[in-house]
Amino acid sequence: MSGYGGGPPPGWQDPYGGSQGWSGDPYGGDPYGGAYGPGGAPGYGYGPPGVPTRPASNASTIAALVCNIAGVVLCCGILSIPGAITSAIAMSRVETDPDSARKLTIWSWVLFGLSVFIGIILMIVYIAVIVMSEDYSSTTTY
């Protein structure tokens, strides 16, 4: 028997006397007792092997969470707050919904990057305001 569906090979005889099995089965030919309804199972055996999957990892999600929390604490990273929230949600979804967790982690990194970019721009503006506001018009007589 091949294990991939179909009936028994030609000339096969039921070792249990023919009252059960492939022919004469009251459940429509299903050797598993009619679990699949009339017509039997779509195929027997395990089928071809699937694509191997790697276990879900949340290392990038943890790194995004730590960076966003550091962005909130160390500078005025207002966008790091939603980044930390999306990282926390992604950590909870790593095992149950890896695609959603991956997308949330990407959004968390984007929010962290935007927060850093805005922080740099604000720092440049702050320095420019300080330099421009210095009073160079002091008159000293020699």
Residue at token pair 């028997």: 1
Element holding 34 (H helix, E strand):
none
139 vs 79, higher pLDDT:
79
Residue type for position 58 = N
pTM of the model: 0.55
**pLDDT band at residue 105 under the 50/70/90 scheme:** very high
pLDDT over 70 at 4, yes or no: no
Rounded (to 5) percent helix, strand, coil in the chain: 45, 0, 55
Cα→Cα distances 5→33, 43, 44, 127, 129, Å: 16, 4, 5, 75, 78
Q: In the prediction, which pLDDT does 36 show?
A: 52
Q: Evaluate whether 90 touches 62 at the Cβ level (below 8 Å).
A: no
**Res 27: pLDDT:** 46
- Pairwise pLDDT comparison (56 vs 85), residue with the higher score: 85
Q: What is the pLDDT of residues 9-65, one digit of tens each?
A: 677 666 665 544 445 444 455 455 545 555 555 555 565 666 666 666 788 999 999
